[in-house]
Amino acid sequence: MKRSIVLFVALGSLLAPGSGSLLAQKGQGRMGGPGLGSTRPPVTGNSSPSGNTGKAPSATSATTMHSGAMGASARLANNAALSARIQPLLPAGATVSAASTGFRNQGEFIAALHVSRNLNIPFDSLRSELTGNHPASLGQAIHDLRPNLSRSAVKRDVRLAQRQADQDIDTTGLANRLSANATLAARARVLLPAGTNLQTAAAGFKDAQQLLLVEHVARDLNIPFAQLKATVTGANPESLKQSVGALRPDLSSATIRADLKVARQETKADLMAAAKSTEEQKEIARRQ
């Protein structure tokens, strides 16, 4: 048991939990704990013109999975990179610490910031709905503050805010890992187009594995990195195989499969080189 825990913790320095298949689309959040979909469902049938706020079954969302047992203020106090990223979303003169007070988790707080910005809803009004004595779901709060919006529009707005919150959390998590591992950062940096900032390039990727894989494919197949990244990490992400097929229609399916196999091997070599222990290398080899 002790050995398994050591392997898991070591691997976490390179790969975000739940990275899964190399060619899988970017999916749901990966950090366990309560969030928008637990005690406060993000969008349910309750967000209706009738204003019925009865409880609905729990739903799991990307932002839910990013949340932890620790409150929003406490978690953000330990994550300077994430606090800096969301600072521009705050009302003028507000601090992350003060604005996040009352929110149960950082996923809910960051999604609320995006809803405030996207729909031009005063953040203080939205926070009152979400953190009061009878807290509403994010969908119900939007309906209460923007009653002119249809149910389908509210659902879209909640999903958009959750995706944006996920990207904020994923991006800063990867940025922290790259900053902590000079070898990994160097391997990723050398594959980028000249003049491209690594932290900017890493934004949107769920982990180092996905970033490196896309970089290798872009270089090997002479596909602009920005274009390939956009299809893999955009609002409607595609698998890497689909993305390559769309950007290089001249390539056959067999050729694409062969090229992706080479890129996976190159990515594995990068991760192995950046591993800080023999045990971590063994775990990377096993997961590949």
Per-chain mean pLDDT for the chain? 77
What does the alpha-carbon distance between residue 190 and residue 184 come to, in Å, rounded to a whole number?
10
Average pLDDT rounded to a whole number, residues 254-279: 90
Q: Where are the domains positioned within the chain?
A: 2-26+204-287, 62-168
Percent of the chain with pLDDT over 90: 46
Whether residue 219 has pLDDT greater than 90: yes
Q: Which two tokens stand for residue 114?
A: 């995006």
pTM for the complete prediction?
A: 0.54
Residue 268: count of CB within 10 angstroms of its CB = 18
Quote the CA–CA distance of 39 and 93 in Å, as a whole number: 30
Please indicate whether residue 156 or residue 12 has the higher confidence score (pLDDT).
Answer: 156
| Residue-level pLDDT at 158 | 95
More confident of the two residues 274 and 121: 121
Tokens 């919006």, residue?
149
CA 17 to chain centre: 12
15-74 tens-digit pLDDT: 544 333 333 333 333 333 333 333 344 433 333 333 344 333 333 344 444 444 457 777
Mean pLDDT of 125-137: 92
For 168, 206, 213, 257, the CA distances from 262, given in Å and listed in that order, are 30, 21, 10, 9
Phi-psi region at 33: left, alpha or beta (left = phi > 0; alpha = psi -120 to 50): left
Compute the distance between CA of residue 167 and CA of residue 283 in angstroms, rounded to an integer: 27
Question: Confidence class of residue 123 from pLDDT cuts 50, 70 and 90?
Answer: very high
- At residue 285, the pLDDT reads 64
Say how far apart CA 33 and CA 275 lie, in whole Å.
28
Distance of CA 143 to the CA centre of its chain: 26
